[in-house]
Amino acid sequence: MESKPPRLEVIDLVRRFNNRAVVDRLSLMLMPQQVICLLGPSGCGKSTTLRMIAGIEKQDEGSILVDGKVLSDNQVSCPPEQRGIGLMFQDFALFPHLSVAENVAFGLSGPIDNKRSRVTELLRQVDLLNFTDSYPHQLSGGEQQRVALARALAPRPRIMLMDEPFSGLDNRLRDGIRDQTLDLLKAEKTSVLLVTHEPDEAMRMADKIALMRDGRIVQIGTPYHVYTKPVDHAAVAFFSDTNVLHATVEGSYANTSFGRFSSPSLPDKSKVEIVFRPQHVRLDFDRNGTGPVPTESDGMAVRGIVERARFMGNESLIEFQLDCDGSILRAIIPGVFVPEKGRVMWLTVRRDRCFVFPASNFH
């Protein structure tokens, strides 16, 4: 059985400004009905990538293909309106002088009855059928977002490009709007490339996350894979706070105050970082001056003194000063736990939740 080509394929895409590559040899495949999030900090090239795919901006090098057909390369450049690609931006870009129905119908062609039917269908799907004759300024931010989504979907694009479309929404509305948007895109069988700098949004919406940095994709995979098997310290830190232990490899092991960490792929004398998230620190009380019995999975116990503790809503954040070297280590504990400053506790770290990387300049 012949496999289908990717709905979108980007090959070695390059875009330079003032001789600096803001997108640098980026390659990506988006399959039919798949949702991929380009995730990364501001300035890493996410939005520029979207603009080149849409045809709003011309790449300096590389190729863009849809369903196996070249839309843009060094010889060919298909106009934006002929690419079959929908666009949604953070400001929604609705026409203020047009009604909701007229905004949704703007990109449609053909018989008036067909256009009216399509507009009615989409407004029903986004729960705005009662706002047909309203104008954008009469709508809430969430309602405007849904109008923009309906307008972008009206011509039945094969691909939807979304650039931070939920960033202007109130936090209380955002999750519901995201879920509704995703359901509608799936129902329309639209492939989606979503740009965001928010890890939670990418984890919530994406089939795959493409983590970007300095114009390149540094890691791509399912949300679970990117979160649990990060490529480096910066990849871990993009999703959460981190604790770091510094060590030197000796005989395939890195020795720390928390015990030994296996480092079989790194040569002796290599400087390494052992990186772990605050939620993977385990606590026990100091009873009679002894800590918990060390285990193979948790390694050695280290004595820590509470520096500060804060209740964060669903969890508590505790900062400890370690007796062994005076460094600060953070722990996140579910629920309410706010020990007083100066309280002594023993800390261990789960070995299966630690990442060993060569030492870097990341802070």
- Measuring CA to CA, how many Å separate 43 from each of 49, 62, 132, 216? 11, 20, 38, 11
Do the beta carbons of residue 330 and residue 277 sit within 8 Å? Answer: no
- CB atoms under 10 Å from CB of 200, counted, come to 12
The whole-number average pLDDT for the span 188-200 is 94
C-alpha dihedral (252, 219, 90, 186), degrees to nearest 10: -120
Mutual orientation of helices 141-153 and 112-125 as an angle, nearest 10°? 140
Segment 337-349, tens digit of pLDDT: 999 999 999 999 9
The model's pLDDT over 195-248, given as tens digits with 9 standing for 90+, comes to 999 999 999 999 999 999 999 999 999 999 999 999 999 999 999 999 999 999
Give dist(CA 82, CA 55) in Å, integer: 10
Q: How far apart are CA 249 and CA 19, in angstroms?
A: 40
Task: State residue 4's pLDDT score.
Answer: 78
Residue pLDDT, tens place only, 173-187 = 788 888 888 988 998
- pTM for the whole structure: 0.89
Kindly report, residue by residue over 78-132, the tens digit of the pLDDT: 999 899 899 888 777 899 999 999 999 998 888 999 999 999 999 999 999 999 9
Q: For 278-326, how does the pLDDT look when each residue is reduced to its tens digit (9 = 90+)?
A: 999 999 765 444 544 445 455 788 999 999 999 999 999 999 999 988 8
